[in-house]
Amino acid sequence: MGALHKAHGELIRVAREKAGQNSEVAVSIFVNPLQFEPGSDYEKYPRPEKDDEEFCRKAGVDLLFRPSATEMYAKDRSVFVEENALSNVLEGKSRPGHFRGVCTVVAKLFNIFQPDAAVFGEKDFQQLAILRRMVRDLNYEIEIVAVPTVRESDGLACSSRNAYLNPEERKQAGILRRALLPAKNSQLTSAKEIIELVSKTIMTAPLARIDYVALVDADTLQPIDTAKPNSVLAVAVYFGKTRLIDNILG
């Protein structure tokens, strides 16, 4: 959605590597209104268009697609793409309708570009799982390529929303990674105990307000009672008005 940073640069790098020299890499930048619930930060979401364009140019992008909302959506639009098995938990529970917006716009972009592959980051793990399901169920002949989360020096996952954090919030936000790593590396197997450990660590940051801490199956995204190899430990935490997400794979 723009405000490009080094994590987007890694997505572009992987896309170029995947495409090779004989294919093209396209980047779409679109602040999608369907992904924002009422009263959220749609209007103030950063849109540094010139900086993003220069970022793409330096990264060697062949095509930059930057449509307006009126170009992407008719005023009387009445067709949406909705996934109903993976999208009702975690982010979907906290942000109703969010993934309908994601699936609708990504389906439209797939129809416009007809790519061979599409690259997404693992930071938004639920989104990645849902788009894989959409590609499977709608018979898109598109490979979904996952890229590991890119992080700042203190472990905070790169995100355009990090710019919303004031200096003290930014200082404390690194607690997310510091909470996830010990839980993954501990000998704990009980989901309850793992969640308690992560929550306790996060709450050592005075400005942190937990939305959720969850241990789920990586394929179904349903809560599990015991840690296993194919699992995801996911968190969503507010620092002030800024909501950050992170995860670590089992």
pTM equals: 0.95
pLDDT at res. 41 = 80
| Structure tokens belonging to residue 126 | 């639920």
Integer CA distances (angstroms), 225 to 29, 91, 129, 188, 228, in order: 39, 20, 20, 12, 9
Distance CA 198, CA 170 (A): 19
pLDDT at res. 175 = 98
pLDDT at res. 214 = 98
Distance CA 90, CA 68 (A): 29
Return the biggest CA–CA distance within the chain.
54
Nearest to 101 by CA among 42, 32, 160: 32
Distance CA 34, CA 17 (A): 31
Q: What is the mean pLDDT of residues 189-210?
A: 97
For the chain, list the domains and their CATH numbers.
6-147 (3.40.50.620), 160-249 (3.30.1300.10)
Q: Of 18-22, 133-137, 149-153, where does mean pLDDT reach its minimum?
A: 18-22
* CA Rg value for the chain: 18
Q: Looking at the annotation, which residues are catalytic? A: 8
